[in-house]
Amino acid sequence: MTEAVFGIKGKDFVIVAADRTTVFSVIKMKDDYDKIWEVEGKLFAALGQTADAANFVEFVEKNIRLHTLRAGMPLSTKAAANFTRNELAQALRKGPYQTDMLIAGVDADGPQLYMMDYLASMEKVNKAAHGYGAMFTFGLMDRYYKNDLNLEEAKDIIRKCIKELEVRFLIDLGKYTVKVVDKDGIRTIDLDA
Q: pLDDT for 46-84, tens place per residue?
A: 999 999 999 999 999 999 999 999 999 999 999 999 999
Work out the mean pLDDT of the chain and round it to a whole number. 93
Residues 64, 40: contact at Cβ < 8 Å? yes
Q: Residue type at 186? A: I
Question: CA–CA separation, 63 vs 61, rounded Å?
Answer: 6
What pLDDT, on the 0 to 100 scale, is given for residue 1? 57
Share of the chain above pLDDT 90, in %: 78
What pLDDT, on the 0 to 100 scale, is given for residue 193? 60
The answer, as to whether pTM is greater than 0.75, is yes
What pLDDT, on the 0 to 100 scale, is given for residue 168? 85
What pLDDT, on the 0 to 100 scale, is given for residue 70? 95
Q: Residue type at 83? A: F
b/e for 120-144, b at 16 or more Cβ within 10 A?
Answer: bebeebbbbbbbbbbebbeebbeeb
